[in-house]
Structure 1
Amino acid sequence: MMQKCVSLLAGLLLSAAAWAAVDINTATAQQLETLPGIGAAKAKAIVDYRSKNGPFKSTEDLTRVPGIKEGTYARLKGEVSVGKSAIKPAPAKPAAKK
């Protein structure tokens, strides 16, 4: 009985992970390799691009990575996201004078 519970829990966790979008600003190369059309070389290219140019501002920015064309992006765009690291806070507005 315990083994069935553990197996069920593991299956549920894997299902939930499959539905979660991969944050291209924080994902490791190994996590990026779980995406369709992304192997070791493209995952490394994404990490290298991010290290050199800073966080991605949108998922479409992936097409700027060498080796990632529109077709590859089309296959994975629903499975990737950009996290809060790409969002810069707006500058504070000065207080209105009375």
Structure 2
Amino acid sequence: MLKSLISASIFALLASVSLSSFAGPTKPADPVVVAAAQQAAPININSADAETLTRELKGIGATKAKAIVAYREAHGPFTSVDELLEVKGIGAATLEKNRTKLGVN
């Protein structure tokens, strides 16, 4: 009887240790995975602010980003990504470098 009591106690102890390893704290998100997920989502040129445009787009500095926002405020929302060509300072090469990152909603 003592042997079965000890066996049951050891089993319960091992089971609780084993289960606690699964319920432990979660590891923080990997920055590389987070960055990849953010890059996969298109940047909505109808809602992005100048800082976001500057940070996320190649060849778009603060001046061009502000021009995009000003154009949007003056002419209403963009209906297509190609409409960026109407913004002063945005050429075909800049648009093509960033086309896959852009979207309109």
Structure 2, unaligned runs of 5 or more? 1-23
- Distance, in Å, in 2 between the alignment partners of 1:74 and 1:14 is 22
Q: Which runs of 4+ in 1 moved over 6 A?
A: none
Task: Calculate percent identity across the aligned residue pairs.
Answer: 37
Amino acid in the other structure paired with 1:12: V
State TM-score, norm by structure 1. Answer: 0.75
The number of residues matched between the two structures is 81
1:73 positional shift = 0.7
Structure 1 match to 2:91:
69
The answer for unaligned runs of 5 or more in structure 1 is: 84-98
What residue number does 1:86 align with? none
Q: Does 1:22 align with 2:37?
A: no
| Larger helix percent | 2
C-alpha distance in structure 2 between counterparts of 1:61 and 1:7, whole Å: 36
**1:20 Cα deviation from its structure 2 partner:** 1.1
